[in-house]
């Protein structure tokens, strides 16, 4: 059976490492102050009515795309790089974040769950390319493994969206108390 558990873990680790590297590159590429303001304004407009369901939808859409053989790996890199650009924009406009490692944003529990999910999806995309080229006759087994991983990603991202939404609500409550 391809891949064995150790190989599957190695593919997952490689995808997670690639995802984090693409994020880091996006976060350290210099951006003008005007571009940073423009990017954050776009994100702010998009996320005005954010809630737990929107967080889940915003995370599951790219994750499902990341399962597409071949294309999913590229989508994962693009998504991660774009998120790194957002981190760079935020760190430029909020001096408190200057000097903070971009990777520190992945210390939150929901971020760890998201990175795991995206890594699982991206690695499955790469595995599917290999399997569909080399072992076309066993496509049903690949489909079942992929379906199980899609379900796992959906569940993990759903739990992550609950945690992220609760974190946002707690932060908003703390801000209201300070006022």
Q: What is d(CA 176, CA 47) in angstroms, rounded to the nearest whole number?
A: 19
Residue 156 lies in domain? 5-178
Residue-level pLDDT at 179: 65
Task: List the pLDDT tens digit at each of the 179 positions of the chain.
Answer: 456 889 999 999 999 999 999 999 999 998 999 999 999 898 888 777 889 999 999 999 999 999 999 999 999 999 999 999 999 999 988 888 888 899 999 999 999 999 999 999 999 999 988 888 887 766 777 888 999 999 999 999 999 999 999 999 998 888 778 76
Q: What is d(CA 12, CA 6) in angstroms, rounded to the nearest whole number?
A: 10
| Total of domains in the chain | 1
DSSP annotation string for 53-118: HHHHHHHHHHHHHTTSTTHHHHHHHHHHHHHHHHHHHHHHH-GGGTT--GGGGGGSHHHHHHHHHH
Residue 175: HSE in the Cβ half-sphere, 13 Å Cα cutoff: 6
Largest CA distance in the chain: 64
Compute the radius of gyration of the chain from its Cα atoms. 18
Give the SS3 label for residue 153: helix
Predicted structure pTM score: 0.91
Q: What is d(CA 124, CA 146) in angstroms, rounded to the nearest whole number?
A: 7
Q: Is 151 in contact with 117 (CB distance < 8 Å)?
A: no
Residue-level pLDDT at 55: 95
Residue-level pLDDT at 3: 62
Residue-level pLDDT at 148: 95
Q: Is 138 in contact with 131 (CB distance < 8 Å)?
A: yes
Q: Is 126 in contact with 17 (CB distance < 8 Å)?
A: no
């Amino acid at each position: 059976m391809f891949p064995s558990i150790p190989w599957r873990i190695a593919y997952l680790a490689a995808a997670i490492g690639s995802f984090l590297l693409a994020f880091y590159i996006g976060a350290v590429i210099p951006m003008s102050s005007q571009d940073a303001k423009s990017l954050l304004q776009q994100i702010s407009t998009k996320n005005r009515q954010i809630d737990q369901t929107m967080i889940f939808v915003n995370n599951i859409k790219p994750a499902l795309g990341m399962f597409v053989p071949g294309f999913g790996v590229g989508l994962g890199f693009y998504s991660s790089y774009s998120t790194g650009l957002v981190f760079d924009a935020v760190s430029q406009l909020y001096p408190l974040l200057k000097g903070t490692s971009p990777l520190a944003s992945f210390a939150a529990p929901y971020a760890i769950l998201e990175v795991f999910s995206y890594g699982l999806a991206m690695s499955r995309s790469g595995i599917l390319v290999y399997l569909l080229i080399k072992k076309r006759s066993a496509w049903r087994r690949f489909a079942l493994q992929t379906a199980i991983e899609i379900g796992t990603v959906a569940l993990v991202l759903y739990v992550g969206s609950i945690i992220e939404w609760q974190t946002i609500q707690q932060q908003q409550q703390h801000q209201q108390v300070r006022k």
